[in-house]
Structure 1
Amino acid sequence: MTDTPDPFWWQDEDTRPRRVEGGIQIRNRRGKVARTWWSGRFLSVVECLGIGGRLSRGRSYARAGQIVSLDVDAGGAVAQVQGSRPQPYRARIGVPAYGKTEWTQVLDALAADASYAAALLAGEMPRGIEDVFDRAGLSLFPATARDLVMDCSCPDFAVPCKHLAAVFYVLAERFDADPFQILALRGRDRETVLDDLRARRGSPAPTGVAPLADLLDTYFVAGPGLGERIAGPRTPSDALLDQVPEFPVAVRGASVVELLRPAYQALADPDGE
């Protein structure tokens, strides 16, 4: 007679995760993870799914550095998350990436509004950018769980599991620091977006700066007329003393200003020439 395996055999194992040396972890040790409105919008989808226990454990995983690796590319993010087993689990969060036609509509609209372009060129996510995507019939952030593809190699039946939840929180903190990674999920990385915006607005991309050693011959060049002013009569070094109000006291019957004058003259011509 063959024993039938328990479908939940994995729940009897030690569920404490194995420690990871040098794992990816979020810096926020307590409270809300998202610090910007855009990462908050990204997290709002997963946080409204009503799986509070797994979300809490996911935050603990993210804070403990249980994520071994995380790669963000067009269409999704793939992570290796260390659980209780020796082999890390593979967790993937996928979103639809947009093609050239869709991005042309979005970039044309962003370039047409100077405030959008200025914010993006400054490394920020403009608040109205969601409206730009909406008018093109697109969505920047996933609106519901149906807009996401989530899978994990762990045996947990829930989606998202704590490993996927940990990836969401690490992604949110990455988005805080670099909002362009949200755009990268949709198919356009930072360099491509900025280059396209500059091209549409007629602003050339910044070029490299020449080394200072190559500019020394021309760096300090006198402007028009400055050479004549420098070559003209020099102001006497003791002229400042003539602007000093008369001291009310004297030193051994001599004026303080006159006592100081030889010293000022010597500083200007230390060789006595």
Structure 2
Amino acid sequence: MPDPDPFWWRDAQPARPRKVEGGIQIHSTRGQVARTWWSKRFISVLEQLGVGGRLSRGRSYARAGQIVSLDVDVGGAVAQVQGSRPQPYRVRLGVPAFGKAEWAAVAQALADDASYAAALLNGEMPRDIERVFETVGLSLFPATERDLAMDCSCPDFAVPCKHLAAVCYVLAERFDADPFQILALRGRQRDELLEELRVRRSAAAPTQGADLAGVMDRFWTAAALPEQLAGPRTPPDALLDQVPPFPIEVRGHPVSELLRPAYRALGAAE
């Protein structure tokens, strides 16, 4: 009788990944993962570079929490992803980091427009920030395949493998929550960039402040009033003609008429 489970069939069966307690997972349970425009842009860049069609292989890994660790730092993201083997696979997604001079040009372009710093401080990526990078000859997101390195210690020859793809999904969701992690990949951490923007904007302030300082001694000085105000003179008892009649009289005389001599006397005294 033939073996109901021959060795060649056992080897062909896909091995299930080992479950991870407390693994990193995406919150999206179905449909699209990326929510913000910048994380969607990250996914679309991968698709344009020809690797997006294989990203779906890692969606179940990302949702199941198979990622043991993930660190985003200058030049790339490094992760450990648990597969079917006892030892987690080492995964790396790298992008070239910009140099000091390149980031100085970017920071100056961002500092020239206060709206960019305001959006970043609010935890948002400005819509046209890619244009800012382009004006100084740079690209925020990977522009070609040479700008994106993908490595995994698993035996799968496909790039990206499901372990790399899972990391891409988790990165996209992290970018949703913190757009500064995209900038960190290119070489600038959040606090470092915001401090540089503050310094550059403060350096531009004295030029405007010097003009104000020159007039501070007379800024609150009122102009001289004319000696005599022009205009028709209003009779001093005119107010009595505007008020409603009093409901009572004094000895048969309206109250307004009794007050009129006093108003006229006050006007004559002035």
Which has the greater radius of gyration?
2
Closer, same or farther: CA 11–119 of 1 in aligned 2, 3 Å: farther
1: CA distance, partners of 2:11 / 2:98:
40
Identity rate, percent: 76
- The one-letter code matched in structure 2 to 1:80 is Q
Match of 1:122 in 2: 122
Deviations 1:173-195 (A, max 9, x none): 00000000000000000000111
> RMSD across aligned C-alpha pairs, in angstroms?
1.9
Contact 1:14 1:84 in 2 (8 A): no
- The one-letter code matched in structure 2 to 1:140 is L
Query: CA offset at residue 199 of structure 1?
Result: 1.1
Contact 1:45 1:144 in 2 (8 A): no
Match of 2:99 in 1: 99
Match of 2:254 in 1: none
Deviations 1:249-268 (A, max 9, x none): xxxxxxxxxxxxxxxxxxxx
Runs of 4 or more, structure 1, over 3 Å off, are 10-14
Structure 1 gaps, min length 5: 1-9, 204-273
Question: Is 2:88 the partner of 1:82?
Answer: no
Match of 1:134 in 2: 134
- The one-letter code matched in structure 2 to 1:57 is R
2: CA distance, partners of 1:162 / 1:47:
15
SS in 1 for 2:109: helix
2: CA distance, partners of 1:184 / 1:50:
22
Match of 2:176 in 1: 176
- The one-letter code matched in structure 2 to 1:121 is L
2: CA distance, partners of 1:70 / 1:108:
31
Which TM-score applies when normalising by structure 2?
0.68
Query: CA offset at residue 99 of structure 1?
Result: 1.2
Contact 1:175 1:182 in 2 (8 A): yes
Query: CA offset at residue 27 of structure 1?
Result: 0.2
Match of 1:44 in 2: 44
Match of 1:29 in 2: 29
2: CA distance, partners of 1:106 / 1:79:
29
1: CA distance, partners of 2:151 / 2:17:
19
Structure 2 gaps, min length 5: 1-9, 204-270
Closer, same or farther: CA 11–107 of 1 in aligned 2, 3 Å: farther
SS in 2 for 1:92: strand
